Homo-oligomer: A and B are copies of this chain.
Amino acid sequence: MERKWEAMEAIFKPKAVAVIGASDNPGKLGSHVMRSLIEGRYPGKIFPVNPGKEEILGIKAYPSLLQTPECVDLSIIVLPAESVPKTFQECREKGVKGIVLITAGFKEIEDKRGETLQQEITELANQFGMKVIGPNTFGVVNLHLPINASFTPEFSSVEKGEIAFVSQSGGMSHLMGFLSMTSQVGFSKIIGLGNRCNVDFDDMVEYLTDDPQTKVVALYMEGMDHPRRLMEVAERAKGKKPILSYKVGRSSTGDQASQFHTGSLAGKHEVYGGAFKQAGILMVQSSEELLDTSKALAISPLPEGSCVAVLSGQAGPGMAACDVCETEGLSIPPFSSKTQQKVETLLPPLAIRTNPIDMGPAWYDSEAIEGIVHSVLEDKKIDAVILCIMFASANRASVGILADLLLQSQEKKPVVCCLSAPRGIWDEEIKRLEASGIPNFPTPERAARVLANLVRYKKLRSEYNE
């Protein structure tokens, strides 16, 4: 266990990294890996290894790993598949503990030799006490060190945050990274498991459960080799941090495709559904939902129940949110009579004053907004709030007022927002709210779906805490 942790730490927090197969030819993955480390401002030592070069991208290169002058914790390997066993031997000699094996051509190819080769290197790695991310991976990124040990330098532009994304697909990791750049979402780590030769979902979830920089673990899965162990590890994480999973292969075609992709059968979707629920893993149905829900779980308190108040600046978006709430099993109950009376004294009879409230007529009256939001948050019949306001010149100030109010509130109920405006108008207010645990989403429907997932997660967890 100690030794395993040490090897994982070597992958995510290395003091020195060797790039075996480093290159300065932009047509080679070895050059992209070098750029990722350099442009990503990795603070440790970088040792490019390439027998034909004295220097790569301004850094002294070495003809072999064994000739590098210092200890190396992590080797990133971008050599052809057949030379990997020999390289593993050298890594052992050098005392390397962590490997990121970008090289493809193992279990995922049609040729049986790929699988044999993968067995061979897995046995070597196990024997040498090395942990291997891959083969057939884009790499790993730890935004807190920072280290971008991948072939995509652009991952270094992803914001630092508290969500770890663990993926069986490099494509899905890139998608999530790029989506996050326009969604104010930050990641602690982005990890491409590839063919999972000796680091599978279970190992990674186990490691991340104890990782202080990770609050939420988001998984993208196609298939699994050790489902039972994953469930055990996930059950141990329950109450510590949320684990979500987006699993594809619901369709028969996707299921077949998975087999080829990373060499594992996706298996019956329903079977996974039941097992995940038991283990406290929250399942979601799309990449967007995975990102949205992870963002909320990283910052928001959890609701005590499923009773929601919908407060909107305009009725339409509030109604759209209500539709999703009801479809997803949330309830939009009447307020307590105390709250209802308060709302009626504050709002003129010009719009909806029951739940959902249309606060439109109150925009010019910050005291009224304050009063309404206060009473609704304090209402014991209400577990959570959805707040939807679409910008119009006349309500520009409203979100600032609401932000002040929400940030002062002592109530620890989740508030999920859809505050929508052209770029630049409410950016600061939204940033303030998100920094204090109140997430914002681009549409009322997405905000409502996220809240439904917070409720589902709370239930999953409570059932298992009993």
Contact = CB atoms under 8 A, between A and B. Distances in A.
Given A32-B393, A151-B394, A179-B420, A319 B355 contact: no
Nearest to A390: B174
A452 to B, nearest CB: 13
A322 interface: yes
Interface string A234-258: 0000000000000011111110111
A260 B232 CA distance: 51
A71 to B, nearest CB: 29
Interface string A361-387: 000100000000000000000000000
B261 A391 contact: no
Contacts of A393: 26, 32, 35, 151-154
A222 interface: yes
A312 interface: yes
A287 B422 contact: no
Nearest to A391: B174
B111 A319 contact: no
Interface in A1-42: 26-27, 29, 32, 35
Contacts of A258: 315, 319
Given A174-B390, A390-B171, A254 B151 contact: no
Contacts of A231: none
A154 B317 contact: no
A338 interface: no
9 contacts: A169-B314, A169-B319, A171-B390, A181-B422, A222-B319, A252-B326, A254-B326, A288-B445, A288-B446
